[in-house]
Amino acid sequence: MSKDYYNILGVSKGASQDEIKKAFRKKAHQFHPDKKNGDEAKFKEANEAYQVLGNEKKRAQYDQFGSSFEQAQAGGGFSGFDGFRDFSGFSEGQNINMEDLGDIFGGIGDMFGFGGGGRGRTRTRKGADIQVALVIDFNDAVFGAEKEIKLNKTVVCDKCKGNGAEPGSKIEICKTCNGKGQTVRVQRTILGNMQVRAECSDCAGEGKTYSQKCTKCHGMGAHKELVNLKIKIPAGIDNGGVIRLTGQGEAGLKGAPAGDLYLQIQVKKDPRFIREGDNILSDIFISFTQAALGDKIDVDTVDGLVKLKIPEGTQSGTSFMLRGKGVTHIQGRGHFGGAQGKRGDHLVKVKIKTPKGLSRKQKEILKELNV
């Protein structure tokens, strides 16, 4: 009876090649025989299905012949999968794509020399990225600022300049790996005997050794150090924004490039203001008399006190706009259509205070006014 390869991988007949590939990787991870709950039969079955569906030509033949798929195989339509053999005995239809398997075998592509670093010297290890939270004031987010932070991180050793050798020591080609940075050994796996490439333990993949390791970094080329960094906060950055500083993360070992530093910005709240995009919102209370007769009042803004004219007859809830008193547009066009470098607006909402504890005379006057 014909096997339903789509069902085996858990994909629909209209699945894309990318979806088929992802499904196979998931099944391979799930059923790999080396895992505690692995299933070699299902692992092989998943690979069999992928060898067909992962190949456009074979998939078309499979879709065409349907339940007569085995007859198509017998007629020479294509080669099917008939189980694991030594790697050298795999035919086209039996090959397992090492890149598709990814890290199922713990980086099998690089291990066996099929990945990008499989041949030649081990790839340099880029330094790790660092993520740090940086708390700034509301006004710093509006106008930008320059901050100084202290960071305990790995830096390039200033004594050996990152090469790990004591200055003046003799540098030679590693005799263990002959300068290749890798050693090769034969290992028996479920796929048969395979040549396994591993980083040379004597030179740590460098391909060279030193008569004396650097006494400051112990041959690592880097060490921990407390550093001061000056950070420029761009005007207009919002809470949750991230600043990336390329090359300011952990230093790489033995001359490898450094990682990056990511600053996650946390903006302190200001009890006077609320930020909405590039605009600033605030409330101000005025008296009944000021609302009725009009007045000029002082309003708090990020630029300091600003005079605001209250026209007579102003109603509670009315908003007045102070143009250009908002947040700087950080990039491109801002939330409210402003160009880069320009600022949003400050919207002031007026709230009228209802008088309390009125005298009899004041109450009579209000009744006469009928307002």
Report pTM.
0.57
Percentage with pLDDT > 70 across the chain: 79
| Average pLDDT estimate for 99-116 | 42
Residues 255 and 165 grouped into a single domain? yes
Q: What is the mean pLDDT of the segment spanning 193-212?
A: 79
Confidence check: pLDDT of 179 > 70: yes
Q: Clarify whether residues 100 and 147 are in a common domain.
A: no
Q: How many domains does the chain have?
A: 3
Q: Kindly state whether residues 172 and 234 are assigned to the same domain.
A: yes
Q: Do the domain assignments include residue 298?
A: yes
What CATH number should be reported for the domain holding residue 360? 2.60.260.20
In this predicted model, what pLDDT tens digit does every residue of 323-364 receive, in sequence order?
Answer: 999 999 986 434 444 455 789 999 999 999 988 888 888 888
Strand partners, 193: 188
For 320, the domain range is 274-369
Quote the CA–CA distance of 307 and 298 in Å, as a whole number: 5
Final residue belonging to a domain, choices 69, 104, 139 = 104
CA 294 centroid distance within chain: 54
Q: Which two tokens stand for residue 193?
A: 């005997």
Whether 119 is covered by a domain: the verdict is no
| Domain termination site, one of 267, 291, 318 | 267
Instruction: Give the per-residue pLDDT at 80.
Output: 35
* Most confident segment among 4-13, 141-150, 194-203: 141-150
Which of 228, 245, 267 is a domain's end point?
267
pLDDT at 271 over 50: yes
Same domain, 261 and 138: yes
Q: Which pLDDT score is estimated for 340?
A: 59
pLDDT digits (tens, 9 = 90+) for 117-172: 444 444 557 889 999 999 999 999 999 999 999 999 999 999 988 888 889 888 88
Give the pLDDT score at 371: 60
pLDDT surpassing 70 at residue 91: no
Flag whether 121 is in a domain.
no
User: Mean of the pLDDT values across residues 92-108?
Assistant: 41
Q: Which of 27, 39, 12, 198 is nearest to 96 (CA)?
A: 27
For residue 109, tell me if it sits in a domain: no
Q: Are residues 249 and 296 in the same domain?
A: no
Domain presence at residue 32? yes
Q: Give the max Cα distance, the chain.
A: 110
CATH number where 229 lies: 2.10.230.10
Gap between the Cα atoms of 245 and 263, Å rounded: 8
Domain co-membership, 93 together with 146: no
Q: Are residues 167 and 257 in the same domain?
A: yes
What is the pLDDT averaged over residues 112-116?
A: 41
Is residue 157 within 8 Å of residue 222, measured between CB atoms? yes
